[in-house]
Amino acid sequence: MKTICDGRSGDTRLMQGNEAFARGALEAGLSVVAGYPGTPSSEIVENLAKASTVRDIYVEWSVNEKVAMEVAAAASFAGLRSAAVMKQVGVNVASDFMLHLAESGTRGGMILISCEDPGALSSGNEGESRPFAKLFELPLLEPCDMQEAKDMTKWAFELSEEIRNLVMIRSVTRLSHASGNVTLGSLPEIEPEARYKHWGTPIDPEEGPITTFPVHYKHAQMQQKLKQAVTRFEESPFNTYEGPENPEVIIVTSSACTLYSREAIRLLGVADRVGLLKLGTTWPLPPRLMETHLAKADVIFTVEEVLPFLEDSVKILAAEISDRIGVKKFHGRSDGTLPTINELNPDLVAEGLAKILGMTYQAVDPTYTALADEATATDAPERDLAFCAGCPHRASFWSIHNALEMDGRQGFVCGDIGCYTLAFLPTGFSTLKTGHAMGSGTGIASGFGKLDRFGMDQPVLSVCGDSTFFHAVMPALVNAIHNRADMTLVVLDNSGTAMTGFQPHPGRPSDAAGNEVPALDIAKIVRAMGAHVEESDPFDVDATRHKVLELLQKGGVNVLILKQSCALCPEKKGKKLFQVDLDASVCFGENCGCNKLCTRVFKCPGLQWDPEAKAARIDEVICSGCGVCASICPSGAITKKEVA
């Protein structure tokens, strides 16, 4: 198997940003990594998991990001180098521990890699995690390309060990999921020995217990550590300036925005007018370095995403030293030079820069654009996101939606995070009616389930996946049971963490490295909590609808576990449960009695409407053989036969 351990020092190869992070961690002598799947971060842990087959490292998909950070911290406390990896919202989950970890300090080098998703390409929010560094007084690093992803990771471990605290590295989708040339370093031969020294005094940094007490003392220490990091930042090779000595405008930037900014300067042809201060160390800003460069120009243009975090820091610093560098004009997100929502790209930066310089920038001839717009509007049909053919969620939401209509009391489902989040859309019959964070569906349902005293008579449900159940739903369910809320939780158990790439979780019998491990049983856990539990196969839509309807009439906390594995899981690959056939001569088509139920409403991609034959047909290549369409077809045109 090819792993990121391949290749020798000095080799240059094309690497994905996340692969580069993983390689950097190995080059730093990492021993332990823990994370929770989250796009765009997952490949870091996946690559390290593959590497663990050839290198002695422990790789864990933890139950959630808070525990992941705690697991990594333990390794650090025991003197090993460790990393916690997550997407931006994972940092929110880990933040309580992160605050305390920052105050208690670490021992072995420990880093947090937070991979953010500006533009919400794979998220339900445009949150970012850089402010946590400021909030918790920790050093923040932002690589701008794949080489830096590797090199800064390695350096981050050194910094962490020097200051004895967590170092945060921030990435974005356009870095984590992009690939570029990376020159490899060497993989050290390490022989780590884990030992947690705790017998010293409370303030002994080497051998004392690791706590946040005494709080004021530890807090002061933490601030001292940060100051030390800043002195390193002043000399860091990851902060660079390129451009004229006296530019009209200085762009201050970091992360992938560095590449956009460089591109923008090139597109406008203003390399002689615009300087680029690229920062790799973005919190705290090294004041002497900043002063040197901010003095060069009167106009400062900060390019970043998502919040004006860097911009605010630059403004504060500039205000503090304005007597030495003069008063500056600032542009960025706050004044509308850059948009405040969605991700950036070279064009948005070029447009902003052009505005500042009093130029116009036109990417392409407007007649071409008009023609291309017309072409796409007429002849490039939109691709709505849809559940895969054979996805158990389509069947589950079919049953839940129909049960709610039959119940007739305007009941609703509180949604959660996973592939099933798509059930907001027609692919899931627009069944989900709230959608927030991990576990929020059940927390909110627990709340709705107590409003009967105020006249609420609508039945309340929530959904969650099997991974989400362990991550965050359990405490919410405990809350509902203990507080006697009336609600039904539907656990959509498709045997994996599907949306992020089918990683394992505590309900599965194998771990990140493929070892056999105990699988926790959701039904047993929920029964032990005291909820009423039922199970059903979502592919049996009639039985499932019947069960849902029954539970909607019951009070108290009900849990319905719908068990059917994901269409993309390894066990199902290339195998069909049923051979499904469609006899077009029997199909009711557009007539009263059907009107294209299977293609128009059920919308499985394996079913296609043939406007010439005026009948549906099955695409053999896409059809995964789940057989659900045969159950819903009113004419009997669709039949299914078990595959031997």
Residues of this chain, 238-257, that bind another protein according to CB under 8 A: 256
Binding residue for another protein, selected from 260, 330, 424, 578, defined by CB under 8 A: 260
The CA distance from 588 to 599, in Å, is 12
Q: Work out how close the CB of 437 gets to another protein at its nearest, in angstroms, rounded to a whole number.
A: 18
Strand partners, 563: 493
Range 429-448, binding another protein (CB under 8 A): 429
Q: How far is CA 248 from the centre of its chain?
A: 39
Part in contact with another protein (CB under 8 A); list of ranges 9-17, 157-165, 433-441, 442-450 = 9-17
Binding residue for another protein, selected from 25, 133, 480, 597, defined by CB under 8 A: 597
The CA distance from 429 to 425, in Å, is 6
CA neighbours within 13 Å on the CB side: how many for 87? 26
Q: State phi, psi for 53 to the nearest 5 degrees.
A: -80, -20
Part in contact with another protein (CB under 8 A); list of ranges 45-53, 209-217, 443-451, 585-593 = 585-593
Mention every residue, 6+ apart, whose C-beta is less than 8 A from residue 354: 268, 360, 361
- CA distances in angstroms from 38 to 28, 32, 50, 130, 566, listed in the order given: 24, 19, 18, 17, 18
Binding residue for another protein, selected from 212, 523, 600, 639, defined by CB under 8 A: 600
Closer of 121 and 528 to another protein (Cβ): 121
Range 88-147, binding another protein (CB under 8 A): 121-122, 145, 147
Q: Work out how close the CB of 16 gets to another protein at its nearest, in angstroms, rounded to a whole number.
A: 8
Mention every residue, 6+ apart, whose C-beta is less than 8 A from residue 530: 481, 557
# of chain residues touching another protein (CB under 8 A): 82
Examine residue 569 and tell whether it contacts another protein (CB under 8 A). Answer: no
Q: Work out how close the CB of 381 gets to another protein at its nearest, in angstroms, rounded to a whole number.
A: 4
Part in contact with another protein (CB under 8 A); list of ranges 44-52, 278-286, 442-450, 598-606 = 598-606
- The H-assigned helical ranges of 41-87 are 42-51, 65-77
Examine residue 150 and tell whether it contacts another protein (CB under 8 A). Answer: no
193 C-beta neighbours (distance < 10 Å), count: 8
**Paired tokens of 467:** 């991974």
Examine residue 175 and tell whether it contacts another protein (CB under 8 A). Answer: yes
Q: Work out how close the CB of 120 gets to another protein at its nearest, in angstroms, rounded to a whole number.
A: 10
Examine residue 327 and tell whether it contacts another protein (CB under 8 A). Answer: no
- CA distances in angstroms from 138 to 223, 354, 407, listed in the order given: 9, 35, 53
Examine residue 410 and tell whether it contacts another protein (CB under 8 A). Answer: no
214: which DSSP letter?
S
Q: Work out how close the CB of 402 gets to another protein at its nearest, in angstroms, rounded to a whole number.
A: 5
- Contact at 8 Å (CB) between 52 and 59? yes
Binding residue for another protein, selected from 78, 111, 230, 259, defined by CB under 8 A: 259
Closer of 505 and 596 to another protein (Cβ): 596
Binding residue for another protein, selected from 39, 337, 497, 624, defined by CB under 8 A: 39
Q: Which residue has the tokens 């906390």?
A: 557
Binding residue for another protein, selected from 549, 579, 581, 586, defined by CB under 8 A: 549
Q: State phi, psi for 572 to the nearest 5 degrees.
A: -95, -5
Judged by DSSP in three states, 538 sits in coil
Range 370-409, binding another protein (CB under 8 A): 371-373, 375-376, 378-388, 401-402, 405-408
Closer of 77 and 588 to another protein (Cβ): 588
